[in-house]
Amino acid sequence: MARPTLARVFPQNIRHNLGLVRDKATAARVMACVKADAYGHGLVTVSQALHDVADGFAVACIEEALILRKHDITKPILMLEGPQSADEIAEASSQNLTLCINEWHQLEWLEQAGLNSPLSCWLKVDTGMHRLGFAPDVTAEAIERLLPQIKHSEFVVCTHFSSADLPEDNGISKQLDVFDRSVGEQGYAQSTANSAAIFRAPESHRDWVRPGYMLYGGSPIAESTADDLGLKPAMEFSAQVISIREVPTGERVGYCGRWQAQRPSRIATIAAGYGDGYPRHAPDGTPVFIDGASLPLAGRVSMDMITVDVTEHPGVKIGSKAVLWGDVPAVDALADHADSIGYELLAGMPKRVPRIVEP
Ligand SMILES: *Cc1c(COP(=O)(O)O)cnc(C)c1O
């Protein structure tokens, strides 16, 4: 028997969510972000599921890109952080990868490589995130140096929004303005929109959109749920009840006795904890869905287990299924309780939890 703790992955829902990207950004090509093991869903699983519907795949680093090529992903693969050493340039070229050039030292490596074969590149402009990219006033110079290196391969200028998830003061129009003034009128292909901007800012769609989180069915918009947006969750993380006990009034449950019974209580122990990616900071009351009801977490999250107050649901028994995130609670709702974000919960889910890919 296997430990009954698993993550079911629904490729059909990821395809549905990509369809929503197409509905929103009808003229743009879609660069599906599959970095960090496709936000925990499985890099190869997700990329294969999207191969015929995405126009390309974005990863963080060459290690992720090479896994995709090894698994016969032939679409463009963009390395968002660009090369991390000079020798990655030749390898990227031989594997037909696309480099995002963010920094002068990356441009120098490219010049030193003196490639004869084509190499597609994106070039990032730092329009306000201040993490990666060329400052707007030197972008023209960087492009002038880059273009001779890549011959006539595809070239895209891009930027990234810092706060597109926020309903107000998200800075999208300000960042787009900086972008347009530095490169916007020069006829290069462009890419600016992440998931949040796909929903919020049609003027940001340009030639390529770069959805990540929304593909996995999380809401990228602070004020809307995924369900409101028509997104379907791509993962259900579940475990089973492995113990039930009666706890008298006044007794405490779990580490440091954080939760105390205010009445004679029935506590169910579930076989998933922070060692499985459940957020350790989840407070008492965080919803766990068992036997058709949202029931409150009672006591600190342990490494391998959590405890839930099931006093009001006598149907809960050993072997009952507990959904930690999925349809209910949505990963965003759980993250809200735990002072986290759904991105972190998904990307942080360890290998220990088997991913079961549903047809
Ligand atoms: C991760 C990433 C995205 C996708 O962001 P989401 O919010 O998940 O849609 C887009 N662009 C860049 C540069 C990224 O690093």
Q: How far is the CA of 41 from the centre of ligand 1 (A)?
A: 16
Work out how many domains the chain is built from and give that number.
Answer: 2
Q: What angle do CA 6, 12, 18 make, to 5 degrees?
A: 115
Q: For residue 224, is it within any domain?
A: no
CATH number at residue 272: 2.40.37.10
Q: Which ligand 1 atom is at minimum distance from the Cα of 160? A: 13
Task: Look at residues 76, 13, 19 and name the one whose alpha carbon lies nearest to residue 45.
Answer: 13
**What is the CATH number for 185?**
3.20.20.10
Q: Quick check: is 322 in a domain?
A: yes
Say whether both 166 and 50 belong to one domain: yes
Mark whether 241 and 336 lie in a shared domain.
yes
Domain containing 273 equals: 235-357
Active site residue 255: yes
From 80, 129, 156, mutation site for ligand 1 pocket: most ligand atoms within 8 A of C-beta = 80
79 annotated ligand binder: no
Q: Which of 151, 174, 255, 317 is catalytic?
A: 255
Residues within 6 Å of ligand 1 by CB: 33, 35, 80, 160, 194-196, 210-213, 220
Question: Is residue 267 in a domain?
Answer: yes
Strands (E), the chain: 6-9, 29-33, 56-59, 77-79, 98-101, 121-124, 155-158, 189-191, 208-209, 235-247, 252-253, 259-260, 265-270, 287-290, 293-296, 306-309, 321-325, 355-357
One pLDDT digit (tens) per residue for the chain, 359 residues? 688 999 999 999 999 999 999 999 999 999 999 999 999 999 999 999 999 999 999 999 999 999 999 999 999 999 999 999 999 999 999 999 999 999 999 999 999 998 888 899 999 999 999 999 999 999 999 999 999 999 889 999 999 999 999 999 999 999 999 999 999 778 999 999 999 999 999 999 999 999 999 999 999 999 999 999 999 999 999 999 999 999 999 999 999 999 999 999 999 999 999 999 999 999 999 999 999 999 999 999 999 999 999 999 999 999 999 999 999 999 999 999 999 999 999 999 999 999 999 99
Q: Report the atom number in ligand 1 closest to the C-alpha of 343.
A: 8
73 with 120, same domain: the answer is yes
Q: Do 10 and 38 touch, CB atoms closer than 8 A?
A: no
Model pTM score: 0.97
Give a yes or no: residue 230 inside a domain.
no
Is 131 part of a structural domain of the chain? yes
